[in-house]
């Protein structure tokens, strides 16, 4: 239901399943969609050649070839994952004072496990890594991935929602109330946990 409303707010009306004709013209379904897709679109980064959607052997479809609603949902999932792990992330944060400039700056960073520090420094290069050390390193990588993914997802969501015309298009289509109501029900009854 949430995906349906995201498609309604961000994506254009899909093509008709049947070919329109003089006898059976295609219905105008534009009233059931927001006009957000008219003011914003996903584009490939500079230097990236867009894949031909007809060729299946070129690998998975890139994010910029997907509907905005799909990428929006993926971004929400990344932010949600961050907030689920925030207690663990807060425990792993470490504040360091950088005195390189004129005024000292406090930098917050993830505190790496002893195994990660040993691997990065090269001090343990002559001995094999144990299973528990590997688990610690992979856990550090996992936490860093959660943080970086959530940061990029948040940046995408903010830039999308602040894009000129997007907020007005969403408000003209009824706003967020349907998504908020559905999300509240999913969270209240823990139905969102069924999809993990």
Q: In this structure, how many other beta carbons lie within 10 angstroms of the beta carbon of residue 3? A: 13
User: Can you say whether residue 65 is alpha, beta or left, with left for phi > 0 and alpha for psi between -120 and 50 degrees?
Assistant: alpha
Q: Strand, helix or coil at 142? A: helix
Q: Which comes out higher in pLDDT, residue 142 or 100?
A: 142
Report whether pLDDT(195) > 60. Answer: no
Residue 18 or 185, more confident: 185
Q: How far is the C-alpha of 60 from the C-alpha of 18, rounded, in Å?
A: 28
Whole-angstrom distance, CA of residue 192 vs CA of residue 196: 8
14, 12, 10, 15: which is closest to 69 by C-alpha? 10
Biggest CA-to-CA distance, the chain: 79
Reported as a single tens digit per residue, the pLDDT across 89-135 is 888 888 777 777 788 777 777 778 888 888 887 776 777 889 999 99
Tokens of 10: 């961000």
| Helix segments in 11-110, DSSP class H | 68-84, 86-92
Q: Which has more pLDDT, 50 or 34?
A: 34
Structure confidence by residue, pLDDT tens digits, 79-89: 999 999 999 98
Start-end of H helices in 33-130 = 68-84, 86-92, 114-121
């Amino acid at each position: 239901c949430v995906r349906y409303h995201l498609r309604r707010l961000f994506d254009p009306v899909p093509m008709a399943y049947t070919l329109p004709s003089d006898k059976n013209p295609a219905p105008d379904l534009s009233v059931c969609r927001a006009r957000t897709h008219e003011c914003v679109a996903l584009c490939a980064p500079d230097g990236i050649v867009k894949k031909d959607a007809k060729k299946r052997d070129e690998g998975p479809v890139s994010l910029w070839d997907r509907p905005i609603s799909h990428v929006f949902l993926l971004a929400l999932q990344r932010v949600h994952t961050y907030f689920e792990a925030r207690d663990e992330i807060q425990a792993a944060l470490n504040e360091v004072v950088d005195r390189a400039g004129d005024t000292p700056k406090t930098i917050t960073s993830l505190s790496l496990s002893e195994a990660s520090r040993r691997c990065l420094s090269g001090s343990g290069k002559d001995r094999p890594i144990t299973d528990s050390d590997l688990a610690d390193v992979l856990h550090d990588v996992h936490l860093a991935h959660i943080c970086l993914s959530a940061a990029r997802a948040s940046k995408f969501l903010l830039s999308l929602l602040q894009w000129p015309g997007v907020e007005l298009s969403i408000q003209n289509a009824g706003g967020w109330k349907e998504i908020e109501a559905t999300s509240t029900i999913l969270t209240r009854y823990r139905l969102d946990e069924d999809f993990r």
